[in-house]
Structure 1
Amino acid sequence: MITGVPLAAGEQLTTKWEFRPLIENDLIDHARIDLANTGISEGRKIAAMAEAHYISVAAHNPLGPVCTAASAHVNLSLPNVSVQEQSRRHGWDDALVLAAPRIEAGSVVPAELPGLGVEIDLAAARTAASSLRFAPTPRFGRADGSVINW
């Protein structure tokens, strides 16, 4: 089926081998690379494969300041970026993050620090971690028993 609507997919994929059929069969217009799943090196390899097939990168970034910084740095090195998804801050990590990229007028502005430009208050992180209570990740399934994304 052909559609005039641009398609984006891949945020749950982790390797170039998983992206390969989407890219080589021209099934997507935007590769949604999530660096939290792929890592920086593998994400750049996937972006290069996409570039060779005239496919844009739409960075998937549902997480916090470290993933935002990594995504921004990788995006600055790519010629085929269309957009970086940006989660809205919920404030739970404000006390933990001493420096991180800022969002200004729809753009990510990196912090003036080495590396990814993120500084975490480790003492505050340890204190916060001691009070965290993790619940199991919800799992949803279809009537046929297959698992779907939560």
Structure 2
Amino acid sequence: MSEIPVDDETRAALLLFNQRLEESAAEARAAKRIAKAERAKDEAASRVRNVGNDSNATAEQKAEAETAYKAAVDEFQRIKENPEPAESSLAEVSADEEAPTPTAAAQEEGDAEEGDAGEDDSGESDTDEAAPAAESE
């Protein structure tokens, strides 16, 4: 495969475009992880409410539901604070995306601009952790 001759300005623009494309994809993956963790937290809260309202539920079932909820809240907070995937979920993310990344070309071109994608999506502070209230404490 032969390379197409490109002037320096076009090369810099392409590198910047590829960098921003990678950042956009990373933001989309982070948003998906946050949404998935939030759904898990909401499902765990629903289970705590259902078990709490069930008169036949044992103390063990209630404790198990409460423990699962606390774990889901902790996981949600961890992912929200650091949306980058952990080592264990890195394989899951790479299985979803098989697209090659142009980072090698960007490293060769040392003069590529570094963009600041500092958009803060902290507008969703709607996480009330007091949703499941255990009455038998």
Q: What band does the TM-score fall into relative to the shorter chain?
A: under 0.3
TM-score, normalised with respect to structure 1:
0.20
Per the normalisation by structure 2, the TM-score is: 0.21
Structure possessing the higher radius of gyration over alpha carbons = 2
Query: Structure with the greater relative contact order (CA < 8 A, sep ≥ 6): 1 or 2?
Result: 2
